[in-house]
Structure 1
Amino acid sequence: MSLLGGIRPPIAVLSALLLSLAAVTALVLGPAGDTRLPEAVRTSQQHFAEDGAIALRASIDESVTDLERSAGLFSAGAPVSGDAVLDKLGNTYQKWMGTAVIEIRSGKLVAARGETVPLTSLDRSELGAEGGLAPRMVRLENGEVRLLSFALLSWPGRPQLLLVASNSLKFPGISLGQFRAIAVVDRAGTILSSDGIPEPEQVLTDLQRKEVTASNKQLRAFAKKAAGQAGRKPLTTKEPGSGGYLGISGSLLGGTWLSDRSVAGYATLSSPQPGEATTATALGLTVVAMVKVAEDPTHTTSPVFGLVAAGALLLIGGIAVAVLLGTVQRPLIRLFLESRRLTRGDLARPVNVPGYGEAHRIGTALERLRRRLLGEPGGDDGPVPAPRGARRIGTRGLLAVSALLLLAWSAPLLLILNRADATVVVPQQLVNDQRERTDTLTDRVRRALNEGEADLQSVASLIGDRTTPADMTKVLDRTLNQHLRYQSLYVVDAAGRVVTRVGGAPHAARTKPATADPIELLGRGGTKPLIVGTAEIPGRDGSALVGEFRIDFLNSMLKRPGLGVVRVVDDHGKVVAGNTGYLAFQSLPSDRLKDLVLAAGQRVGKSAHPAGVLYRENGVQIAGAAPFVGGGPAKELGWTVVSWQPANRLAIPEYDVQHRTVLAGLLGAAAAATCLGWMHIVVARPLRALAEQAEALADGDRKTVLFPRNHDEVGAVTRSLELIRQQLQAQRGPQPAGRRGVPDTASQQQVRN
């Protein structure tokens, strides 16, 4: 018989699968253990550190790019003094703590603004070498670290100058909330800058000083561990196919202080595109974010449910297998043995007829054929009436009964048991993280728009004295290639006519003064938002430089792992940008989200703050919203960033148990469908067809040849019926000597062959 055919293999496989599923259910469904700190909290700190690394990397790269681009624009124009360079630079950008211009050959300080730039650490002989203008970190006498960026200023016939900008490694616009600290760490694990933990002498009580000291000690320990992890390769720190952050990132678990557990996330500075390197990523910096989380000492899970579910599966599965063994397998094997007995010539004993369905019909037909072979009266009776009552239950019905038994265990697990939405306890830290991360993302979007407007102001001031459109086109083309945030740049005169342009065709016609609304949103009522920045060109009688922002530029900044769905809405509550598919200027999908946006924006001003809520709508949802606050022209847009995600996607113990429960139900249903479907294909359908053929043979059909389709029990019974058919045909001709009804041995041998 076939190795995979017949009735035995599917029942054996079903038994093995049910035993395995029972063991898995007992071990996994309800494990006992310490769940006082959900895994979702640790993952959230990892995402928080990734946000900080993205913000720091973007700030450093943007600062270096702005400095180099400004120096290039100054060098392309008429020579100006060092003071004029720094004045224009300071009026356009307010991002550097100190700037200076020095003469490279003599080392003479030409001009300086802001705090004193540490020029004594600068080796001018290295400037001409490859990578000599790469940014570098310098530690001051007071222990603080400054990042120095460089750019060359050169004009024909003038001494070559070096433009130097100094900045700290502070995070731009990171919302820390309460009980959180964040730090920048170098390759050796040394903390270069930190924020969120006060100095011990700045607190009042002894307990507070001890807590601050313990926090600083824990942060230094996390910094050492994170620096050690940062030396690994990204592919070794993530599961295959997990995607997400391109750099090294993870979470760390620390000690406790007064029932609060220290949890940290770390992330190295990584480029936005795989395989690329930026100025910031070459510095070898790592961001560490630490927070203290209150643990719930009473929150544990019990193995009782898993043991009960496993016991119920063993009981129900045993009944289902017993039904299959007693009502499907045993009658079929009995038919196989009885049919073999008849073909061997043992016709003395009546056929042991099974009591149900197709097996009963085939057994009755075999009994009639036995009597026909013996020549007894009654063998030529007419068609046998169909079985009644319980005898009518066929193999398909028995399989359906077994399926119902197994579904009685699987269906409650799939649909009813361990539903967590009504009982879940979502840690408050997750709500806080959703709010703070949304606020950080809001600041990132606002700063990006402000940076874009500052670039327009810088370019407009430098092309003010350029009279020919060709010269202006060169400057615009260089700016468009250096910054991917614009889809088109063009210069318009006072009447709104386009003088010169680069990039895509202009979509916005300027009719208002260039000094009004530096950034505005156009395209309402259309299919695509249009964000336009404008900067007046000095000395050109109302001419202006217009830049149209790519909406994909905003959408790309909103892609943050672990933050869910993110939308940017305007002052009317209409969607402008998002991290997933959306329709422009549509409303938010929920009234709760609309109320959250209103609550976050109703205190615009000094008391403006992000908002975070936990609400129940289509399950438990975590949401956060933060309006545009701070300086810059983007604040006047009145936009708000809102994010939300279902809590069941987070690694919370109650949802973990729910997911495992659903998985157990799915596995049970899949095992039942696979094995019972297997039996229906290889047993039930062939057996039903064989019953019709056996009854036709018993009713006198001697012409239809019966041939087996599979080498299994059903096929064996089919071969036996074919031998009986040949014996009945032989009875019509001359009978051999001997007892009537004895089968023809040569005919049997021919069929077997």
Structure 2
Amino acid sequence: MSERRIPGVRAPWATGLVLFLVLATSAGIFMSRPRDVSPVPQSVLDSRRETTVAAGQAIARSLNGGLSSLAEIATVVDESMRQRNRALLIPFKSRIWKSLYVIDRASRVVVAQVGEPAQPAVLGEPMPSEAGSRLAQVGTAQQIVQYTPVGKAADAKYLLVGHLDPNRFGELLTVAGADGAWLLDKSGAVIAGTGNRTPPDGVVDQGMEPGEGASGSRVQHVAERTEVTAWASLGGKRPSNALGWTVVSNQPTTDTAAPGDASRRRGVTVAAVLAALTALVFAALYFVLVRPIRLLRRVAEAAGPDTPKTPKHGEAGQVATAFTRVRSTRLPQEPTEER
């Protein structure tokens, strides 16, 4: 019968020690490797997002403020039509609207106007019954149309309409970026912007319900430039927050957190700590497990009266004591003579 050799304890111990040292070295190399792209600090991302949110809030206040001014003018127009039977618009000709007119809601006849020619077709069907704003195509340009009932909304016969030029928001957009900020509608089309660049794609969430405030920022890499894109939907009160419009900014940045020597030092430190812990653990295993087993083997194989060095502590020490006691009490066997 062939003897099957059982592996000792020292071989697995040495194999485990080598493997863990290799693992510690690999971890250090991985953590100290140079990165291809340096991340942009979170403070830069937060700053770009905050300036974009500020621009969105300014535009929302401007839209709501324009509608409030339109409501005040509607009050004056209502009084003038009651007293003089005509709409008084001349004093408001130099206001922010490119075109300001009063339209009969039933017949769609313009009864008074100042500024550019009236465009009642942009109000659509049916005629609005409450105050609001919308984006409309007037000729080859887009304009923001604001409207409010003249008198009480329930029984108002006339509608006061004002057309705003979206380009007037360019100054407000410079807060987010002098040459890379845009006001986008729900479909992602540009309403107003600064500079001659085009806005980045995939920023406007077309599935977002109007009134849901959303803002954020991200890093993108174009050619050899690092750019920060930020976005913020129009907040504030109705009706501006119900339009579903978004302010987007895109600015290049040179403020990056380069890894430098910090990653390399961190990797070397981690590798050294792991290697030291591995050495300590396997040294403890050697003195607690491997060395006592080797001494027990010597005690078991000893045949003479001399007792080899034995373990003193733990289970290995108890087994060694038992071996020694058995050896000392065993009688020498004399050879028997045949008769």
For the aligned residues, what is the CA RMSD? 5.5
* Partner residue, 2:135: 137
* Partner residue, 2:162: 165
Match of 1:322 among 279, 304, 318: 279
Where does the alignment leave 5 or more consecutive residues of structure 2 unmatched? 1-11, 332-339
Higher share of residues assigned helix: 1
Q: Deviations over 1:230-261 (max 9, x none)?
A: 24667xxxxxxxxxx725754554468xxxx5
**CA distance in 1: counterparts of 2:101 and 2:71, whole angstroms:** 16
Question: Shift of residue 341 of structure 1?
Answer: 9.8
Match of 1:230 among 176, 195, 204: 204
**CA distance in 2: counterparts of 1:47 and 1:68, whole angstroms:** 30
Question: Shift of residue 361 of structure 1?
Answer: 7.0
Checking the alignment, whether the CA contact within 8 Å between 2:53 and 2:231 is kept in structure 1 is yes
Classify 1:12/1:51 alpha carbon distance in 2 versus 1 (closer, same or farther; 3 Å). farther
Q: Deviations over 1:205-237 (max 9, x none)?
A: xxxxxxxxxxx2xx12xx2x33x4424667xxx
* Partner residue, 1:381: none
Pairing of 1:467-506 with structure 2 (within 5 A) = none
**CA distance in 1: counterparts of 2:104 and 2:33, whole angstroms:** 72
* Partner residue, 1:153: 150
Checking the alignment, whether the CA contact within 8 Å between 2:216 and 2:232 is kept in structure 1 is yes
Checking the alignment, whether the CA contact within 8 Å between 2:52 and 2:176 is kept in structure 1 is no
Classify 1:127/1:17 alpha carbon distance in 2 versus 1 (closer, same or farther; 3 Å). farther
- Partner of 1:33, secondary structure, is coil
* AA at the equivalent of 1:137: L
Q: Deviations over 1:373-393 (max 9, x none)?
A: 5567xxxxxxxxxxxxxxxxx
* Partner residue, 1:182: 181
**CA distance in 2: counterparts of 1:122 and 1:331, whole angstroms:** 89
* Partner residue, 2:193: 194
**CA distance in 2: counterparts of 1:332 and 1:351, whole angstroms:** 18
Match of 2:56 among 45, 53, 62: 53
**CA distance in 2: counterparts of 1:44 and 1:253, whole angstroms:** 19
Question: Shift of residue 172 of structure 1?
Answer: 7.0
**CA distance in 2: counterparts of 1:83 and 1:171, whole angstroms:** 39
Checking the alignment, whether the CA contact within 8 Å between 2:32 and 2:268 is kept in structure 1 is no
Checking the alignment, whether the CA contact within 8 Å between 2:31 and 2:264 is kept in structure 1 is no
**CA distance in 2: counterparts of 1:149 and 1:28, whole angstroms:** 58
* AA at the equivalent of 1:246: A
- Partner of 2:102, secondary structure, is strand
* Partner residue, 1:422: none
Q: Deviations over 1:3-32 (max 9, x none)?
A: xxxxxx9x9999877755643442344514
Checking the alignment, whether the CA contact within 8 Å between 1:104 and 1:160 is kept in structure 2 is yes
**CA distance in 2: counterparts of 1:307 and 1:331, whole angstroms:** 36
Checking the alignment, whether the CA contact within 8 Å between 1:183 and 1:192 is kept in structure 2 is yes
- Partner of 1:183, secondary structure, is strand
* Partner residue, 1:516: none
Question: Shift of residue 123 of structure 1?
Answer: 4.6
Checking the alignment, whether the CA contact within 8 Å between 1:67 and 1:150 is kept in structure 2 is no
Question: Shift of residue 147 of structure 1?
Answer: 1.2
**CA distance in 1: counterparts of 2:60 and 2:127, whole angstroms:** 24
* Partner residue, 2:106: 105
Question: Shift of residue 160 of structure 1?
Answer: 0.9
Checking the alignment, whether the CA contact within 8 Å between 1:101 and 1:164 is kept in structure 2 is yes
More RCO (CA 8 Å, sep 6+): 2
Checking the alignment, whether the CA contact within 8 Å between 1:232 and 1:248 is kept in structure 2 is no
**CA distance in 2: counterparts of 1:194 and 1:177, whole angstroms:** 11
Question: How high is the sequence identity, in percent, across the aligned residues?
Answer: 14
Checking the alignment, whether the CA contact within 8 Å between 1:101 and 1:109 is kept in structure 2 is yes
**CA distance in 2: counterparts of 1:254 and 1:184, whole angstroms:** 22
**CA distance in 1: counterparts of 2:239 and 2:176, whole angstroms:** 30
Q: Deviations over 1:66-106 (max 9, x none)?
A: 3797699x59xxx623599978x97xxx7766543322223
Checking the alignment, whether the CA contact within 8 Å between 1:351 and 1:367 is kept in structure 2 is no
| Matched positions, count | 307
Question: Shift of residue 149 of structure 1?
Answer: 2.0
Question: Shift of residue 111 of structure 1?
Answer: 4.7
Question: Shift of residue 194 of structure 1?
Answer: 2.3
* Residue 93 (structure 2) pairs with residue 119 (structure 1): no
- Partner of 1:80, secondary structure, is helix
Match of 1:267 among 209, 216, 231: 231
**CA distance in 2: counterparts of 1:23 and 1:249, whole angstroms:** 35
Greater CA deviation, 316-325 or 100-109?
Answer: 316-325
- Partner of 1:331, secondary structure, is helix
**CA distance in 2: counterparts of 1:62 and 1:352, whole angstroms:** 97
Classify 1:324/1:295 alpha carbon distance in 2 versus 1 (closer, same or farther; 3 Å). closer
Question: Shift of residue 162 of structure 1?
Answer: 0.9
Checking the alignment, whether the CA contact within 8 Å between 1:148 and 1:167 is kept in structure 2 is yes
* Partner residue, 1:331: 288
Q: Deviations over 1:487-544 (max 9, x none)?
A: xxxxxxxxxxxxxxxxxxxxxxxxxxxxxxxxxxxxxxxxxxxxxxxxxxxxxxxxxx
Where does the alignment leave 5 or more consecutive residues of structure 1 unmatched? 1-8, 198-215, 235-244, 377-738, 741-753
**CA distance in 2: counterparts of 1:123 and 1:233, whole angstroms:** 25
Question: Shift of residue 331 of structure 1?
Answer: 3.3
* AA at the equivalent of 1:324: V
Checking the alignment, whether the CA contact within 8 Å between 2:182 and 2:193 is kept in structure 1 is yes
**CA distance in 2: counterparts of 1:51 and 1:287, whole angstroms:** 10
* Partner residue, 2:334: none
Match of 1:246 among 214, 217, 220: 214
- Partner of 1:192, secondary structure, is strand
* AA at the equivalent of 2:59: L
* AA at the equivalent of 2:136: V
Classify 1:117/1:167 alpha carbon distance in 2 versus 1 (closer, same or farther; 3 Å). farther
* AA at the equivalent of 1:192: I
Checking the alignment, whether the CA contact within 8 Å between 2:233 and 2:247 is kept in structure 1 is yes
Question: Shift of residue 193 of structure 1?
Answer: 1.9
- Partner of 2:106, secondary structure, is coil
**CA distance in 2: counterparts of 1:321 and 1:270, whole angstroms:** 57
Q: Deviations over 1:540-559 (max 9, x none)?
A: xxxxxxxxxxxxxxxxxxxx
**CA distance in 2: counterparts of 1:285 and 1:163, whole angstroms:** 24
Question: Shift of residue 134 of structure 1?
Answer: 5.0
Classify 1:313/1:118 alpha carbon distance in 2 versus 1 (closer, same or farther; 3 Å). same
Q: Deviations over 1:113-132 (max 9, x none)?
A: 6x44743433564216xx88
Classify 1:194/1:175 alpha carbon distance in 2 versus 1 (closer, same or farther; 3 Å). closer
Q: Deviations over 1:450-479 (max 9, x none)?
A: xxxxxxxxxxxxxxxxxxxxxxxxxxxxxx
Classify 1:160/1:349 alpha carbon distance in 2 versus 1 (closer, same or farther; 3 Å). farther
**CA distance in 1: counterparts of 2:227 and 2:283, whole angstroms:** 58
**CA distance in 2: counterparts of 1:19 and 1:160, whole angstroms:** 86
Classify 1:47/1:150 alpha carbon distance in 2 versus 1 (closer, same or farther; 3 Å). same
* Partner residue, 2:6: none
